[in-house]
């Protein structure tokens, strides 16, 4: 079976001075995952490793460097889905876990499917994953953005106000096809800027932020989570693949559906098929991405 992998670093109005850092992060994540696939490793291992790297890269809204909530804290969500078994692990509202994707992996292989908040962190401890302080996840860039937003906010929190302050938001994600023919999808996020504490978007919700089925394909989404959830965007993209739509067209149709169905629906979608073909589309200013297919060179862009 061929191997293939695609990653994204978020669909939003990535500022000019952050483009190179986003591209470098996506390329590094792809290289990390590709080395695992090329060494006959599993798609699960490749996706976890790639997303972990992006969680540790403060340029992305995932793990360290994530956007702050309205309360000035970091809350993290992540998910991982195995296309062969349809098992998944999802976690949300984590405040003390540096790499949520690794906790999602433990959950996928363990007793449940989704855990949130304190219960998820207790599970992390039982699994031997070290906890960190919330402060360790905060970077100065996000602290300053939060302070500016806090100084100028009205009495009513609004997504529009967040958009005006930071220009958007993002998520990170990956899909891998391994030599055994398995497809895996993964994603991780710090959520929208200045979100209400406890808010959960599309990222950890199967069928919304991600979906993988080895028989038909996999999709991972990024963008404004509330819009993505309303149209179950990832499942829609895979349904298009099931109907025989080519992957590039499936990604484009999925994003058009998002824009058409929901007022202000914006975001992006990456797709990978069981035979290693990729698709990607977005309706935001930019989306950072990188991909590679067996026999070809790596491709990246925004």
Positions marked catalytic: 171
Please write down the long-range contacts of 116-121, taking CB distance under 8 Å and 24 or more positions apart: 116/91, 116/92, 116/200, 117/92, 117/93, 120/91, 120/92, 120/93, 120/94, 121/94, 121/95, 121/96, 121/97
First to last CA, the chain: 29
Backbone phi, psi, residue 285, to 5°: -60, -45
Query: In this structure, how many other beta carbons lie within 10 angstroms of the beta carbon of residue 35?
Result: 12
With tokens 């302070």, the residue in question is: 147
Nearest CA among 29, 19, 95, 89 for reference residue 59? 19
| DSSP annotation of 196 | P
With tokens 């994603």, the residue in question is: 187
Helix (H, G, I), strand (E, B) or coil at 97: coil
Helix (H, G, I), strand (E, B) or coil at 6: strand
In degrees, rounded to 5, the angle at the alpha carbon of residue 203 between the alpha carbons of residues 193 and 224 is 45
Query: In this structure, how many other beta carbons lie within 10 angstroms of the beta carbon of residue 193?
Result: 24
């Amino acid at each position: 079976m061929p191997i293939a992998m695609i990653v994204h670093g978020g669909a939003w109005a990535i500022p000019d001075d952050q483009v190179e850092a986003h591209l470098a992060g996506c390329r590094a994540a792809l290289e990390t995952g590709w080395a695992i696939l090329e060494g006959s490793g599993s798609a699960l291992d490749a996706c976890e490793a790639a997303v972990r790297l992006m969680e540790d890269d403060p340029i992305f809204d995932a793990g360290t460097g994530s956007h702050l909530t309205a309360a000035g804290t970091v809350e993290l969500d992540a998910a991982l889905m195995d296309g062969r078994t349809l098992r998944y692990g999802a976690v949300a509202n984590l405040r003390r876990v540096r790499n949520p994707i690794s906790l999602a992996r433990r959950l996928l292989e363990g007793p449940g499917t989704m855990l949130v908040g304190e219960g998820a962190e207790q599970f992390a401890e039982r699994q031997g994953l070290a906890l960190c302080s919330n402060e360790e996840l905060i970077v100065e860039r996000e602290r300053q953005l939060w302070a500016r937003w806090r100084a100028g906010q009205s009495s009513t929190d609004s997504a529009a106000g967040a958009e005006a302050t930071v220009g958007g938001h993002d998520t990170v994600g990956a899909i891998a096809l391994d030599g055994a023919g398995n497809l895996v999808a993964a994603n991780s996020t710090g959520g929208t800027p200045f979100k209400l504490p406890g808010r959960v978007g599309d990222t950890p919700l199967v069928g919304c932020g991600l979906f993988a089925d080895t028989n038909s394909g996999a999709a991972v989404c990024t963008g404004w989570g509330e819009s993505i959830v309303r149209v179950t965007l990832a499942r829609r993209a895979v349904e298009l693949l099931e109907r025989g739509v080519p992957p590039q067209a499936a990604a484009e149709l999925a994003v058009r559906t998002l824009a058409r169905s929901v007022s202000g629906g914006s975001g992006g979608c990456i797709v990978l098929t069981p035979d290693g073909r990729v698709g990607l589309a977005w309706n935001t200013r930019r989306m950072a991405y990188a991909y590679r297919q067996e026999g070809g060179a790596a491709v990246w862009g925004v």
